[in-house]
Structure 1
Amino acid sequence: MTDRAPEAEADREPAETGRLRDALAEAAHHITPSRVPLAAVQRRGRRLRHRRRATVLGAGCVLLLLPLAFVARPGTGSDDTARVVPPAASAPPSPAPSVSPTPRIVAPGERVTAAPGFQLWLTAEGKHWTTPSMPELEQFRSAVDGNIDRGTPGVTMQSEASDGHTYLSGLYYGGTGTASTVEVETASGTVHGKLIELPGNPGWGAWYATAETGPDANSPGSSPGVTVRDTEGGIYARLAAR
């Protein structure tokens, strides 16, 4: 019995300790805890998340742009640096292929005004025209009366001088290929005229041009030469100067 008494006394709590615990419990019972600033904590957390996200996105954009702007030069020496790669130069556009002109296709009787008072039109029989000095007088050159051989390349010419100008026109026929242009060699230089034809490839057409009248227009040996060229630049038909 005497051996257990000291152990019981050792387990017994001192009276002062019990009173202190009761006093603390009573004081804690009367304390009201303050509210936690939850909204402020949430706002700060969102700002921190946005700041970290912006930092990560900015670093990612820099890493994506660097390969586009720089390419490291090959080599292992310490002098190797990065260089800017210029954009590849685009090839210049190919020039459009040139297209040779062809005669203007006109309907039978359709009038073409080459100059005021100088009109031409075609029928199945040949070329019709008027000139400024006699606009009411219709003139005619046949393409079917047998006076021209449409199986042989040839050019005819009619001309009239009036008010300082010479009005030139004629037939062309018999050439191979497609007629394209006409050149008239006058005393004043080369004049480029125009061509008209009826539809259906009749094998003949008419040319016309207007030139300045030279001082020796009516002298002997002053008849112009006329050359009709095809779409390849070759001679379709020619009338030699006289």
Structure 2
Amino acid sequence: MSSDPQTEQLCRLFTETAHEITPSPVPLDNIERSGRIRKKRRLAMLWASTSAAACFLALHMPLAHTVLPVGDASSPPLTASHSNIGAWTVVAEGERVSVAQDIELWLTKDGKHWSTPTEIRQFRSITDGNVDVNRPSVSVQMEQVHDVYFLSGLFHGKGRPARVTVTTMEGTVTGHIVQLADQPDWGVWYTTMQIPPRQGAAGGFVLRVDVSDVHGIPVASFVRL
């Protein structure tokens, strides 16, 4: 089949023209810039959707919290293993508490035990009349150990004790409370203070002992008459 001379001439012209055209360079910078812009937009949309989901969960999920009633017989059980909360210490039975140099005390379910250089083992029972377990009450023991007075005693009362204040002839000091985990109605209080320059008033040195909860509500008290 013979070709049309006019058509062949047109083809040659198109071919020659195409060879004479120099293609422009590919705009790589513009392409990369557009890609970065699209990526930033996708990340912004993802961040916005994630933040909205987090806000929704924070507003609609219930908060878990524990309320510990104070000064109430229904207070939750104490935790053992010598956990300290301020002036209040909960110990396991027989666990030693270092009070000061050469002074230790520990609790059993029978009562208070303590040790000093002059008396290795001393004991006061919670059941034989040292304190009145039928009402809030506090007992007081006092010893001189080296250059300090070791003041201590048993207490019995309802509520969660948090602090003890001891009023003496030389002023008022704060003390510490020690309890067994499974004996919330009684415990031991103690403190130490420097022996005053004027001695000889040991018999009436402690004037008052107040055991109270975190709100200052009395748990038990001792007042010297």
> Unpaired runs of 5+ in structure 2?
1-15, 42-65, 71-84
Residue identity opposite 2:150 in structure 1: Y
> Is the 1:183–1:190 contact (alpha carbons within 8 Å) kept by the matching residues of 2?
yes
> Unpaired runs of 5+ in structure 1?
1-31, 62-96
- Offset of residue 181 of structure 1: 0.9
Alignment of 1:3-82 (within 5 A): 36-39=20-23, 42-43=24-25, 46=26, 50=30
Q: Distance in 1 between matches of 2:28 and 2:124?
A: 99
Q: Distance in 1 between matches of 2:110 and 2:30?
A: 92
> Is the 1:108–1:124 contact (alpha carbons within 8 Å) kept by the matching residues of 2?
yes
Name the residue aligned to 2:44.
none
Name the residue aligned to 1:155.
138
Q: 1:196 aligns with which of 178, 198, 204?
A: 178
Counterpart of 1:200 in 2: which secondary structure?
Answer: coil
Q: Residues 34, 151 of structure 1: CA spacing in aligned structure 2 closer, same or farther, 3 A cutoff?
A: closer
Q: Distance in 1 between matches of 2:211 and 2:147?
A: 25
Residue identity opposite 2:90 in structure 1: I
1:231 maps to 2:214: yes
Name the residue aligned to 1:216.
198
- Offset of residue 114 of structure 1: 1.0
Q: 1:186 aligns with which of 149, 168, 184?
A: 168
Residue identity opposite 2:101 in structure 1: P
Residue identity opposite 1:186 in structure 2: T
- Can you list the C-alpha shifts for 1:194-213, whole angstroms capped at 9, x where unaligned? 11122323521111111121
- Can you list the C-alpha shifts for 1:127-176, whole angstroms capped at 9, x where unaligned? 11012x42x62111111113432111111111112332111110001x22
RMSD: 3.4
- Offset of residue 117 of structure 1: 1.0
Name the residue aligned to 1:125.
110
Name the residue aligned to 2:121.
138
Identity of aligned residues (%): 36
TM-score (norm 1): 0.56
- Offset of residue 183 of structure 1: 1.0
Q: Distance in 2 between matches of 1:215 and 1:229?
A: 30
Larger Rg: 1 or 2?
1
Q: Residues 217, 34 of structure 1: CA spacing in aligned structure 2 closer, same or farther, 3 A cutoff?
A: same
Residue identity opposite 1:171 in structure 2: L
> Is the 2:138–2:155 contact (alpha carbons within 8 Å) kept by the matching residues of 1?
yes
> Is the 2:131–2:155 contact (alpha carbons within 8 Å) kept by the matching residues of 1?
no
- Offset of residue 105 of structure 1: 2.3
Q: Distance in 1 between matches of 2:207 and 2:22?
A: 108
Q: Residues 233, 202 of structure 1: CA spacing in aligned structure 2 closer, same or farther, 3 A cutoff?
A: closer
**Larger relative contact order (C-alpha < 8 A, sep ≥ 6)?**
2
- Offset of residue 218 of structure 1: 2.8
Residue identity opposite 2:197 in structure 1: P
Name the residue aligned to 1:205.
187
> Is the 1:225–1:241 contact (alpha carbons within 8 Å) kept by the matching residues of 2?
yes
Query: Which moves more between the two structures, 118-127 or 181-190?
Result: 181-190
- Offset of residue 179 of structure 1: 1.4
Name the residue aligned to 1:15.
none
Q: Distance in 1 between matches of 2:29 and 2:95?
A: 85
